Structure 1
C-alpha cells in the first residue's frame, strides 16, 4: 500500500512538473550581421577626402543576443521579461557603451484584453511605431536612422504601455531619465525634468493600408538644460500591394537643445518589392530640410537581399548622399566621416543570420 502511494505521488509530481514547464518558457534568440563597407570622401589625417574599405557589424540589423521569458498567470494574464544585449561582430565587443543588456532590459505584465505594461530599458516609440513605415526598416546603415538617430533611440528608467485592439495599436512611454550613464543626467532629486522623455503614438491597419503617428518630447540632461525640450512629430503611411509595398513618411523636429539644425523636416519615401520568395529589392529616398540654414542633405538608397532560408540572407546596399549648403551628412549619419559639403557614395555587402 505504501509502495502504491509512493508511486502515485511520484506520478502526480511528474505531471505537475510537466504542467508547470508548459505554462512558462524562456527563449534565447539573436541576430548576427556583418559585412564589408566602402565609403569615399572620408576625411583622413590631413583632413582631405579619401576612400575607406572596412568590415562593419550591424548593417541592416543590429547584431544582438537576448532572452525572453513568458509565464502564464491565468485569466489571460502573463508575466514577461526581455534581456537583450548588442554586440560588435567584427571585434567581439559589446555595443551600447559596454552595457550587458544595452538594447533592452525590462519586466512586466501582458494582458490579452488590456495590453502590455513593462518597466526598464526600452526602445523609444519612434522606433517601435515607425519602423514598419521606413522602406529600410530603420536599418543601422543607410536609412532614416542616418538622418536622425533618435528614430531608433533607447531610454533608461522607462514605464511603457502598448495595447492592441483589432487593427489599432496604441502606445505610451514615460522615462524618468533616458541615460543613466550621464552624471546627474537622470532621476535628479528635486528636478524631475532632467533627462525626462515622454511619448505617445499609434498605428492602424485596415486591409492593405497602414498609417501611424508618434510624438516624443525629450528634456535636457542637466539642471541647466532641463527646462529645454526637443520635440519630434512623426506621421507615416504605407500600402501593401501583393509583392510590393509603398511607403511615405514625415518627421518634424523642433529642438531647444541643438546648436545647429534645430528645426528640420525629414521626408522619406520608398518601395519594397519581393521579386521572388528569395529575392527582395528596396529603393528609398530620405531628405532633410533645415529651417535655420541652407543645409539640406538628401540620400538615395538601393538595396537587394537574397534569402538562403528563413534565418540566413545576404544583402547588398548602396547609398549616395548629396550634401547641400555645407551640410555634413555621411552615408551613416552626422558622424564626421564626410568632408562638409561633399557628396558621398557608400556600399556594404554582407550576411545576416537570425537564431
Structure 2
C-alpha cells in the first residue's frame, strides 16, 4: 500500500491541475470618473445656471464583474458573467441598485455552433452596433444621449450569438424586459407584456464592416401589451490607415410615447490614432422628429491619452443645439438643460481598467 500511495497522490494532483487549467474565473472592472461643466442648467427657480460637478462613468460605465468558463470537452464550454455597475463618486450601485445590474447570465458556448445564454443581457443594438459609434455609446456625449435604448438591458432574456468567419448573427427574446415594474413582465395569460424580440448581424470584410439590428419592444402593462416600439438600426465603418470613419442610422416608430414617437437618428464621425497612445475623436449626432420641428443636433470632440495599457486620461466636449423647444442636454433628455436652450458640456477625467 505504501508503494502505491505516492503514485495515487501524483495522479490526483495531476487531475486537479488539469481541471484547474480547463476552468477559470476572472475578476474584472472599470473605474471611470471626472469633473464636468454644463451651462444653461435650470436651477431651483428654473433660471439658467452653470454647473460644475463630479461624475462617474463618462466614456465607460464604472463596473466590476466576474466571468467564468469551464471546458466541457468536444469544443463545448460552460460560461457565466455577473457584472454590476457602480457610481464611483458615491460608491453606490447603479442600474437601480441591482447587485449585478449590467449583466447576469449563464449558458453554453460551442466552437461550431455559437453561444446560447439566459439571464439579464445587453440588447443586440449594444452588442452589434456599439463599435459603429465613434464614441462607443459612451454614457455621455454619444448616440446614447439621443437614445438610451441603443445600449439598453433586458431581464428574463435568452440570447444566441454565432460567429462564422466575418459574419456574426444574433437573436434575443425577452419574456419581460424590466422585472422592477409591478406586473410589467412575465404576466400569466399575457406573454406580450414587456416582451422584447430582436435580431441582427454584423459583417467584416477586410477594413470595411457593417451591421444591422431590428428590435421590437411591447408595452410593460396589460393595457399597453399590444402596443409596440420598433427600432431599425444600420451602421458601417471603414479603416483608412490610422483613421476609422463611421456612419449610422436609427429609425424609431413608437406607440408607447406621445412625443417624438417617430424619429430618425443619424450620426457620423471619425477616430484618428495620432500615436500609439493618443487618439482624437469627432462626431455629430442629429435627431429628426417626424412629428414636430424639435430636431436637436450635438457635436462632440474627444481626446484620449493612454498612460498605460490599463489607465488613460481623457477630455470630451460637446455642443448641443436645440430647436423649437427640444431639450436635449449633453447627457440626454435628463432635464439638465432648459427647453430650447443650447448647451456646452465638457468633462475631463481618468479611466482605469482591471
Moved over 6 A (4+): none
Superposed displacement of residue 49, structure 1: 1.0
Residue aligned with 1:21, SS: helix
| Aligned position for 2:115 | 116
CA distance in 1, matches of 2:149, 2:28: 25
| Aligned position for 1:21 | 20
Offset from partner CA, 1:52-100 (integer Å, 9 cap, x none): 0000000000000000000000110000000000000000000000100
| Aligned position for 1:314 | 313
| Aligned position for 2:261 | 262
| Aligned position for 1:200 | 199
Specify every segment of 5 or more residues in structure 1 that has no aligned partner in the other structure, as ranges. Answer: none
Superposed displacement of residue 4, structure 1: 1.5
Residue aligned with 1:183, SS: coil
Offset from partner CA, 1:282-326 (integer Å, 9 cap, x none): 000000000000000000000000000110000000000000111
CA distance in 2, matches of 1:6, 1:328: 76
Specify every segment of 5 or more residues in structure 2 that has no aligned partner in the other structure, as ranges. Answer: none
CA distance in 2, matches of 1:126, 1:226: 22
Match runs of 1:28-47 below 5 Å? 28-47=27-46
| Aligned position for 1:170 | 169
Residue aligned with 2:348, SS: strand
Residue aligned with 2:193, SS: coil
CA distance in 2, matches of 1:103, 1:294: 35
Residue aligned with 2:4, SS: helix
| Aligned position for 1:103 | 102
CA distance in 1, matches of 2:325, 2:3: 86
Q: Is the aligned partner of 1:139 residue 2:138?
A: yes
Normalised to the residue count of structure 2, the TM-score between the two structures is 1.00
Q: Name the count of aligned residue pairs.
A: 354
Residue aligned with 2:58, SS: coil
| Aligned position for 2:241 | 242
CA distance in 2, matches of 1:4, 1:262: 80
| Aligned position for 2:148 | 149
Residue aligned with 2:305, SS: strand
| Aligned position for 2:275 | 276
Normalised to the residue count of structure 1, the TM-score between the two structures is 0.99
Residue aligned with 1:145, SS: helix
CA-based RMSD? 0.4
| Aligned position for 1:217 | 216
Residue aligned with 1:275, SS: strand
CA distance in 2, matches of 1:335, 1:3: 74
Superposed displacement of residue 108, structure 1: 0.2
Superposed displacement of residue 242, structure 1: 1.7
Superposed displacement of residue 259, structure 1: 1.4
Residue aligned with 1:60, SS: coil
Superposed displacement of residue 332, structure 1: 0.3
